[in-house]
Amino acid sequence: MTEQTFNYFDLPIGESPEPTPVSEQRRELARELLAISEQLVRLDADESALADYTAQARALREQLESHGHRSMRDILGRLITGQGSRQDALDMAEFEILSGPASPLSPPMTLWLDGDTVRGSAPSGRVFMGPPGKVHGGVLALALDMLMAKTQDFVTGLGMTGTLNIRYLAPTPLNTEIRFEARLNRLEGRKLFVEAKVFAGDTQTVEATGIWVSARGDYRLRDRFAHLAPADQPA
């Protein structure tokens, strides 16, 4: 039986192949590492206990280092040419810095496509704190950069962040569910214009605009999203 292959551009937002046993264990490990980070924030322990925890953490790090790492450059190369394996497809989604379930930095942030909008939601724990009781603005900027980049699923091509302009409207509180939304505004050759918002409850706390620049050739709307083109702009 021929193994299924995967193409990077056919992986829908918020979807990935069924996890392998290896992926499931990576997710469990990431959740434990994030939980440890949460406990470390403002940890009230004596010097002896901290020294013991440090020794345990060092021993775990040394064990992990003995296994080596998969090359993400090679994984992306296979996926872009449509020759990616199931594990390759999982690795691309699993280790997204804030949305990947196997990323120890992921809150986790959940992403999905809703019509013409890329939406996301995430809890906000202590590890993401800036001012007391508030989410750090840099964390929100990182989340927006990642979310807004996902609007490239509407188009052909792949690019990078050119500019990201953020306006903070109100503090975003910790220990609340944060909602994100991003929309494609327009296309201009190699440039993709995007706008986004952040909400805590019913309160909008951040607004953002950005430009993504195609690495090769002009952006064009995918056929199934041709309806998103403005009336005065061809798809």
Instruction: For residues 13 and 95, state if they share a domain.
Output: yes
Helix or strand or coil: residue 188?
strand
Nearest-Å Rg of the Cα atoms of the chain is 20
**What does the alpha-carbon distance between residue 136 and residue 200 come to, in Å, rounded to a whole number?**
14
- pLDDT, residue 171, reads 97
Domain count for the chain: 2
Instruction: For residues 188 and 231, state if they share a domain.
Output: yes
Helix or strand or coil: residue 44?
coil
- pLDDT, residue 233, reads 58
Instruction: For residues 90 and 7, state if they share a domain.
Output: yes
Instruction: For residues 166 and 213, state if they share a domain.
Output: yes
Residue 185 belongs to domain spanning? 107-235
- Mean pLDDT per block of 10 residues along the chain (235 residues) reads 72 74 91 92 93 96 90 88 85 85 89 91 92 95 94 86 97 95 94 97 97 91 79 55
Instruction: For residues 94 and 158, state if they share a domain.
Output: no
Instruction: For residues 231 and 148, state if they share a domain.
Output: yes
Instruction: For residues 216 and 112, state if they share a domain.
Output: yes
Of 89, 146, 153, give the one whose Cα is nearest residue 115.
153
- pLDDT, residue 79, reads 86
Instruction: For residues 127 and 25, state if they share a domain.
Output: no
- pLDDT, residue 185, reads 92
Amino acid residing at 37: S
Instruction: For residues 122 and 188, state if they share a domain.
Output: yes
